[in-house]
């Protein structure tokens, strides 16, 4: 460590489940670089997104605020430009700031490609696309520069963005910098509904791993079995892992690796349409639990953080690690005190989630329990919240880690649900939401498998939402 202010590199994948990584038991060997980061740095074992939808999760990562606070409670809405972001905070303190890849925070009125300067969250150096999946394919990557001009990058999409990241760090090696590298992989390609991995990669991973939740739910998935996606999905992740290794090599060659905080996480996961008609938008682990590893100053040798931590906390954690003041607007909490086995006595035991687009929902997750509620009369595209919710899900993650047995409504678990409801209401108040009424789940005698309302039970059934 040279004593200079640390650089920050955030690698954000799109729609990556936590259990695609070797440190979480995946047997395919797709992520040796991530696994090494987790083992030599700090590994947040139970990292939970604040919202299992692209734009809301990304707004929270930039601001440390809940989606309803940022104004981005669903896709297609613009980030409130008045909110301080990671880039405005570090940029104001003297860091060069750069953004590469998918943005998704300028609002649907601006289109799919160029992002106006005032909508870039304070990033100065810019090579990005508002919705990268709509302006690129696996081997045709089109981004837009600071003037709004299209730039086509050669190579496989994640390779092309890694190459641009290497150029950025080389150009800014003599000053502290923040680079936010937002990849599309392993998100599906919307137009074709597949996961286009580089040549030979899908074949390399096909048939080698099926997560237990998909194995149990796949045959009855609303849109057909998910297994055909897994080879390409893991192949995409493996190529990203190789690319992150190249980026770390570039930092090492520039004598910057020891001075650089590097983060790898994702916006949300994927249940491959086993829980609803989309890939995410539910409170299940497959949609909300993501990988999170950090290396560099303050995080090397930090070991594992075993308690649940929200990725909402990443922005204040990075500011804390850089010695930059955390704005009063931030609703997250730095987890730097937890690194290296430390404690944080004021930290709540639960992580809070907001859910939109498929439903207006809220949830809390502890180390053992998942408790979720749904607003039956709220519109999931129009309404950011509701005044009345009904309990919809309760899972014992210790006994049922893949959430196959819904305990909501069982008299045997009424006291557990009551305590978790109190925690949920406290969290909603912290997030600035009006205190709602939460009705008990309908009483029943045995656990159920059905965790999502069926067709015809919700007033908005038949409305088509954008698959982003």
Region for residue 200 given its phi and psi (left: phi exceeds 0; alpha: psi -120 to 50; beta: otherwise): left
| pLDDT at position 304 | 98
| pLDDT at position 459 | 35
Region for residue 104 given its phi and psi (left: phi exceeds 0; alpha: psi -120 to 50; beta: otherwise): left
**Extended beta strands in 76-124, E state:** 96-102
Query: What is the model's pTM?
Result: 0.94
Separation of alpha carbons 161 and 151, rounded Å: 12
| pLDDT at position 198 | 96
Separation of alpha carbons 336 and 344, rounded Å: 9
| pLDDT at position 274 | 84
CB-count burial class (<10 Å; 0-12, 13-18, 19+) for 426: middle
Query: What is the separation, in whole angstroms, between the first and last Cα of the chain?
Result: 41
| Average pLDDT of the chain to the nearest whole number | 92
Radius of gyration of the chain from its Cα atoms, rounded to whole angstroms: 21
Residues recorded for the chain: 468
**pLDDT by residue (tens digit) across 346-372?**
999 999 999 999 999 999 999 999 999
| pLDDT at position 221 | 54
Answer for the pair 34, 23: CB distance below 8 angstroms, yes or no. Answer: yes
Separation of alpha carbons 326 and 317, rounded Å: 9
| pLDDT at position 460 | 37
Domains defined for the chain, CATH in brackets: 7-338 (3.40.720.10), 351-439 (3.30.1120.10)
- Block mean pLDDT (10 aa), the chain, length 468: 84 97 97 98 98 96 98 95 97 98 89 94 97 94 96 97 98 97 93 92 94 81 68 97 98 97 97 84 95 98 98 98 98 98 96 95 98 96 96 97 96 97 97 96 81 38 39
């Amino acid at each position: 460590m040279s004593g200079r202010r640390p650089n920050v590199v955030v690698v954000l994948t799109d729609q990556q489940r936590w259990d695609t990584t070797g440190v979480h038991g995946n047997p395919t060997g797709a992520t040796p670089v991530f696994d090494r980061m987790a083992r030599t740095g700090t590994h947040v074992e139970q990292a939970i997104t604040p919202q299992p939808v692209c734009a809301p999760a990304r707004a929270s990562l930039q601001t440390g605020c809940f989606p309803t606070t940022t104004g981005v409670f669903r896709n297609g809405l613009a980030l409130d430009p008045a909110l301080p972001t990671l880039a405005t905070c570090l940029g104001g303190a003297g860091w060069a700031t750069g953004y590469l890849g998918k943005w998704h925070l300028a609002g649907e009125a601006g289109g799919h490609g160029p992002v106006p300067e005032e909508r870039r969250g304070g990033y100065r150096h810019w090579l990005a696309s508002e919705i990268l999946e709509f302006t690129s394919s696996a081997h045709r990557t089109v981004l837009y520069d600071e003037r709004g001009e299209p730039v086509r990058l050669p190579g496989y999409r994640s390779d092309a963005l890694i190459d641009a990241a290497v150029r950025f760090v080389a150009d800014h090696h003599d000053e502290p910098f923040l680079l936010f590298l937002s990849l599309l992989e392993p998100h599906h390609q919307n137009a074709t509904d597949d996961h286009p991995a580089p040549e030979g990669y899908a074949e390399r991973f096909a048939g080698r791993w099926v997560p237990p939740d998909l194995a149990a739910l796949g045959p009855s998935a609303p849109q057909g079995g998910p297994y055909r996606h897994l080879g390409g999905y893991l192949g995409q992740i493996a190529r990203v892992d190789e690319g992150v290794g190249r980026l770390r090599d570039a930092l090492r060659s520039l004598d910057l690796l020891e001075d650089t905080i590097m983060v790898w996480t994702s916006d949300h996961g994927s249940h491959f349409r086993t829980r609803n008609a989309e890939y995410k938008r539910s409170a299940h682990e497959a949609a909300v639990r993501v990988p999170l590893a950090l290396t560099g100053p303050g995080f090397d040798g930090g070991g594992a953080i075993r308690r649940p931590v929200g990725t909402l906390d990443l922005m204040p954690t990075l500011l804390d690690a850089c010695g930059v003041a955390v704005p009063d607007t931030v609703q997250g909490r730095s987890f730097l005190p937890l690194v290296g086995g430390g404690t944080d006595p004021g930290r709540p035991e639960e992580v809070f989630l907001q859910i939109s687009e498929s439903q207006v929902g809220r949830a809390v997750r502890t180390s053992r329990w998942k408790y979720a509620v749904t607003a039956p009369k709220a519109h999931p595209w129009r309404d950011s919240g509701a005044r009345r919710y009904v309990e919809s899900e309760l899972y014992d993650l210790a006994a049922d880690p893949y959430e196959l047995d819904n305990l909501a409504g069982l008299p045997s678990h009424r006291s557990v649900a009551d305590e978790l409801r109190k925690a949920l209401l406290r969290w909603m108040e912290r997030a600035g939401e009006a205190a709602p009424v939460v009705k008990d789940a309908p009483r029943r005698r045995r656990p159920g498998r059905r965790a999502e309302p069926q067709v015809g039970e919700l007033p908005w059934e038949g409305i088509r939402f954008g698959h982003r």
